[in-house]
Amino acid sequence: MHDGQLVGHGQSEGERMNIKDFQVYVRDSLQHIDLMKARHPSLPVFIVGHSMGGAISILTACEKATEVAGVVLIAPMVQMSPDTVTPFKVFMAKMMNHLVPSLPLGSIQSKWVSRDQTKVAAYDLDALNFHGGVRVSFGMQLMAAVARVERELPSIAWPFLLLHGDNDKLCDIRGSRLMFERAPSGDKKLKVYEGAYHALHHDLPEVSESAIEEITSWITERLSAPQQAS
Protein backbone atom coordinates (compact mmCIF):
# COMPACT_ATOMS: atom_id res chain seq x y z
CA MET A 1 0.00 0.00 0.00
CA HIS A 2 1.36 3.40 -0.91
CA ASP A 3 -0.58 6.57 -0.12
CA GLY A 4 0.48 8.07 -3.46
CA GLN A 5 -1.75 5.51 -5.22
CA LEU A 6 -4.81 5.94 -2.97
CA VAL A 7 -8.01 7.76 -3.88
CA GLY A 8 -7.66 11.40 -2.88
CA HIS A 9 -3.87 11.10 -2.71
CA GLY A 10 -0.92 11.39 -5.08
CA GLN A 11 -1.87 11.34 -8.77
CA SER A 12 -5.43 10.12 -8.27
CA GLU A 13 -8.28 12.18 -9.68
CA GLY A 14 -10.70 14.22 -7.60
CA GLU A 15 -10.48 16.36 -4.50
CA ARG A 16 -7.58 15.75 -2.13
CA MET A 17 -8.26 13.84 1.08
CA ASN A 18 -11.98 13.70 0.47
CA ILE A 19 -13.76 10.32 0.39
CA LYS A 20 -17.26 9.30 1.44
CA ASP A 21 -16.32 5.87 2.78
CA PHE A 22 -12.99 4.41 3.93
CA GLN A 23 -14.07 1.11 2.35
CA VAL A 24 -13.17 2.66 -1.03
CA TYR A 25 -9.50 2.12 -0.12
CA VAL A 26 -10.11 -1.48 0.91
CA ARG A 27 -12.13 -2.16 -2.24
CA ASP A 28 -9.36 -0.86 -4.47
CA SER A 29 -6.79 -2.98 -2.60
CA LEU A 30 -8.94 -6.09 -2.96
CA GLN A 31 -9.29 -5.45 -6.68
CA HIS A 32 -5.52 -5.00 -7.00
CA ILE A 33 -4.89 -8.33 -5.25
CA ASP A 34 -7.36 -10.07 -7.57
CA LEU A 35 -5.59 -8.54 -10.57
CA MET A 36 -2.15 -9.64 -9.38
CA LYS A 37 -3.36 -13.14 -8.53
CA ALA A 38 -4.84 -13.48 -12.01
CA ARG A 39 -1.49 -12.49 -13.51
CA HIS A 40 0.64 -14.57 -11.11
CA PRO A 41 -1.59 -17.38 -9.76
CA SER A 42 1.30 -19.42 -8.37
CA LEU A 43 2.82 -16.65 -6.23
CA PRO A 44 1.90 -16.07 -2.55
CA VAL A 45 0.33 -12.75 -1.57
CA PHE A 46 2.17 -10.44 0.83
CA ILE A 47 0.80 -7.03 1.79
CA VAL A 48 2.99 -4.18 3.04
CA GLY A 49 1.33 -1.09 4.51
CA HIS A 50 2.53 2.07 6.22
CA SER A 51 0.54 4.49 8.40
CA MET A 52 -3.02 4.83 7.07
CA GLY A 53 -2.01 2.21 4.52
CA GLY A 54 -1.48 -0.08 7.51
CA ALA A 55 -5.15 0.19 8.48
CA ILE A 56 -6.13 -0.46 4.86
CA SER A 57 -3.80 -3.47 4.78
CA ILE A 58 -5.31 -4.96 7.94
CA LEU A 59 -8.89 -4.59 6.70
CA THR A 60 -7.91 -5.94 3.27
CA ALA A 61 -6.14 -8.96 4.75
CA CYS A 62 -9.16 -9.69 6.94
CA GLU A 63 -11.30 -9.93 3.81
CA LYS A 64 -8.67 -12.07 2.04
CA ALA A 65 -7.65 -14.11 5.08
CA THR A 66 -7.30 -17.44 3.23
CA GLU A 67 -5.29 -15.88 0.39
CA VAL A 68 -2.74 -13.83 2.33
CA ALA A 69 0.67 -15.35 3.11
CA GLY A 70 1.73 -12.47 5.35
CA VAL A 71 1.29 -8.80 6.19
CA VAL A 72 4.01 -6.27 7.04
CA LEU A 73 2.87 -3.17 8.90
CA ILE A 74 5.13 -0.13 9.32
CA ALA A 75 3.80 2.25 11.98
CA PRO A 76 0.19 1.29 11.17
CA MET A 77 -2.84 3.34 12.12
CA VAL A 78 -4.44 0.90 14.56
CA GLN A 79 -5.44 3.17 17.41
CA MET A 80 -6.01 6.91 17.62
CA SER A 81 -4.03 8.91 20.14
CA PRO A 82 -6.03 9.51 23.35
CA ASP A 83 -5.08 13.18 23.05
CA THR A 84 -6.70 13.31 19.61
CA VAL A 85 -9.95 11.51 20.36
CA THR A 86 -11.00 12.93 23.71
CA PRO A 87 -14.80 12.73 24.23
CA PHE A 88 -15.08 16.50 23.73
CA LYS A 89 -13.09 16.49 20.49
CA VAL A 90 -15.10 13.57 19.11
CA PHE A 91 -18.34 15.33 20.00
CA MET A 92 -17.19 18.52 18.29
CA ALA A 93 -16.01 16.57 15.23
CA LYS A 94 -19.43 14.94 14.90
CA MET A 95 -21.13 18.30 15.18
CA MET A 96 -18.85 19.90 12.60
CA ASN A 97 -19.29 16.91 10.29
CA HIS A 98 -22.99 17.73 10.09
CA LEU A 99 -22.48 21.47 9.73
CA VAL A 100 -19.26 21.96 7.73
CA PRO A 101 -17.77 18.56 6.77
CA SER A 102 -15.22 20.17 4.45
CA LEU A 103 -13.77 22.35 7.23
CA PRO A 104 -9.99 21.79 7.28
CA LEU A 105 -8.38 20.74 10.54
CA GLY A 106 -4.69 20.76 11.40
CA SER A 107 -2.27 19.41 8.79
CA ILE A 108 0.40 16.77 9.37
CA GLN A 109 3.58 18.23 10.86
CA SER A 110 6.26 16.96 8.51
CA LYS A 111 8.97 17.28 11.17
CA TRP A 112 7.56 14.13 12.78
CA VAL A 113 7.84 12.03 9.60
CA SER A 114 11.56 11.33 9.98
CA ARG A 115 14.62 12.25 12.03
CA ASP A 116 16.51 12.60 8.74
CA GLN A 117 16.05 16.26 7.78
CA THR A 118 16.81 15.56 4.11
CA LYS A 119 13.82 13.17 4.05
CA VAL A 120 11.62 15.78 5.74
CA ALA A 121 12.65 18.36 3.14
CA ALA A 122 11.90 15.90 0.35
CA TYR A 123 8.49 15.22 1.88
CA ASP A 124 7.74 18.94 1.98
CA LEU A 125 8.80 19.43 -1.66
CA ASP A 126 6.94 16.40 -3.03
CA ALA A 127 3.86 17.71 -4.84
CA LEU A 128 2.22 14.26 -4.58
CA ASN A 129 2.05 14.59 -0.80
CA PHE A 130 -1.00 16.41 0.51
CA HIS A 131 0.09 19.39 2.60
CA GLY A 132 -3.28 20.88 3.47
CA GLY A 133 -5.50 20.43 6.49
CA VAL A 134 -7.37 17.16 7.00
CA ARG A 135 -11.12 17.75 6.55
CA VAL A 136 -13.54 16.99 9.35
CA SER A 137 -15.34 14.42 7.19
CA PHE A 138 -12.06 12.63 6.48
CA GLY A 139 -11.21 12.64 10.18
CA MET A 140 -14.52 10.93 10.88
CA GLN A 141 -13.67 8.27 8.28
CA LEU A 142 -10.31 7.66 9.98
CA MET A 143 -11.97 7.21 13.36
CA ALA A 144 -14.49 4.78 11.88
CA ALA A 145 -11.69 2.84 10.16
CA VAL A 146 -9.72 2.52 13.40
CA ALA A 147 -12.85 1.26 15.17
CA ARG A 148 -13.22 -1.39 12.43
CA VAL A 149 -9.59 -2.42 12.81
CA GLU A 150 -9.93 -2.82 16.58
CA ARG A 151 -13.02 -5.02 16.11
CA GLU A 152 -11.08 -7.25 13.72
CA LEU A 153 -8.05 -7.81 15.98
CA PRO A 154 -9.40 -10.89 17.83
CA SER A 155 -10.01 -12.66 14.49
CA ILE A 156 -6.59 -12.10 12.90
CA ALA A 157 -4.91 -15.45 12.27
CA TRP A 158 -2.68 -14.55 9.32
CA PRO A 159 1.10 -13.99 9.83
CA PHE A 160 2.17 -10.42 10.44
CA LEU A 161 5.23 -8.31 11.21
CA LEU A 162 4.82 -5.01 13.07
CA LEU A 163 7.52 -2.34 12.95
CA HIS A 164 7.09 0.85 14.98
CA GLY A 165 9.20 3.70 16.33
CA ASP A 166 8.63 4.47 20.01
CA ASN A 167 8.83 8.21 19.33
CA ASP A 168 6.17 8.15 16.61
CA LYS A 169 3.94 11.22 17.04
CA LEU A 170 1.70 10.49 14.03
CA CYS A 171 0.50 6.91 14.64
CA ASP A 172 0.38 5.83 18.27
CA ILE A 173 2.64 2.83 19.01
CA ARG A 174 0.05 1.65 21.53
CA GLY A 175 -2.00 0.53 18.54
CA SER A 176 0.73 -1.83 17.37
CA ARG A 177 1.17 -3.18 20.88
CA LEU A 178 -2.59 -3.70 21.15
CA MET A 179 -2.65 -5.61 17.87
CA PHE A 180 0.26 -7.80 18.92
CA GLU A 181 -1.45 -8.64 22.20
CA ARG A 182 -4.98 -9.24 20.92
CA ALA A 183 -4.43 -10.94 17.56
CA PRO A 184 -4.46 -14.75 18.05
CA SER A 185 -2.10 -15.36 15.11
CA GLY A 186 0.51 -18.00 15.83
CA ASP A 187 3.01 -16.20 13.60
CA LYS A 188 3.42 -12.61 14.73
CA LYS A 189 6.30 -10.30 15.58
CA LEU A 190 6.62 -6.75 16.92
CA LYS A 191 9.90 -4.89 16.50
CA VAL A 192 10.22 -1.52 18.22
CA TYR A 193 12.83 1.01 17.11
CA GLU A 194 13.98 3.15 20.02
CA GLY A 195 13.72 6.89 19.37
CA ALA A 196 12.52 6.43 15.77
CA TYR A 197 9.81 8.57 14.20
CA HIS A 198 6.92 7.64 11.90
CA ALA A 199 8.43 6.62 8.54
CA LEU A 200 10.91 3.94 9.60
CA HIS A 201 11.86 3.22 5.98
CA HIS A 202 12.84 6.90 5.66
CA ASP A 203 14.35 7.46 9.11
CA LEU A 204 18.04 7.67 9.98
CA PRO A 205 20.13 5.29 7.81
CA GLU A 206 20.72 2.76 10.58
CA VAL A 207 16.96 2.51 11.19
CA SER A 208 15.80 2.51 7.57
CA GLU A 209 18.41 -0.10 6.61
CA SER A 210 17.47 -2.26 9.58
CA ALA A 211 13.74 -1.98 8.81
CA ILE A 212 14.20 -2.94 5.16
CA GLU A 213 16.42 -5.87 6.14
CA GLU A 214 13.88 -6.99 8.74
CA ILE A 215 11.05 -6.89 6.19
CA THR A 216 13.09 -8.66 3.51
CA SER A 217 14.20 -11.42 5.87
CA TRP A 218 10.70 -11.93 7.29
CA ILE A 219 9.11 -12.31 3.86
CA THR A 220 11.96 -14.48 2.54
CA GLU A 221 11.60 -16.87 5.47
CA ARG A 222 7.92 -17.33 4.67
CA LEU A 223 8.59 -17.79 0.97
CA SER A 224 10.86 -20.72 1.78
CA ALA A 225 8.38 -22.26 4.24
CA PRO A 226 5.79 -24.77 2.93
CA GLN A 227 2.62 -22.94 1.87
CA GLN A 228 -0.63 -24.17 3.40
CA ALA A 229 -3.38 -25.00 0.98
CA SER A 230 -6.22 -22.49 1.10
Which residue ranges make up each domain of the chain?
Answer: 3-224
Which one is catalytic: 168, 172, 202, 208? Answer: 168
Residue 114 appears among annotated catalytic residues: no
Which one is catalytic: 51, 57, 114, 208? Answer: 51
Residue 168 appears among annotated catalytic residues: yes
Residue 198 appears among annotated catalytic residues: yes
When the pLDDT of each residue in the chain is averaged and rounded to a whole number, the result is 83
State the pLDDT at residue 88.
40
State the pLDDT at residue 1.
40
Per-residue pLDDT tens over the stretch 25-79: 999 999 999 999 999 999 999 999 999 999 999 999 999 999 999 999 999 999 8
Flag whether the pTM goes above 0.85. no
Confidence of residue 213 (pLDDT cuts 50, 70, 90): very high
CATH number listed for the domain at residues 3-224: 3.40.50.1820
Nearest alpha-carbon partner for 30 in 51, 1, 72: 1
Determine the Cα–Cα distance for residues 199 and 41; give it in Å rounded to an integer: 32
Name the DSSP letter for residue 104.
Answer: B
Which one is catalytic: 9, 50, 164, 198? Answer: 198
Confidence of residue 131 (pLDDT cuts 50, 70, 90): low
State the pLDDT at residue 71.
98
73 φ/ψ angles, rounded to the nearest 5 degrees = -125, 115
Per-residue pLDDT tens over the stretch 73-97: 999 999 876 665 545 454 445 555 5
Per-residue pLDDT tens over the stretch 132-142: 566 677 878 88
Q: How far is CA 31 from CA 16, 52, 144, in A?
A: 22, 18, 22
Percentage above 70 pLDDT, the chain: 73
| The pLDDT of residue 10 is above 60 | no
45 φ/ψ angles, rounded to the nearest 5 degrees = -100, 120
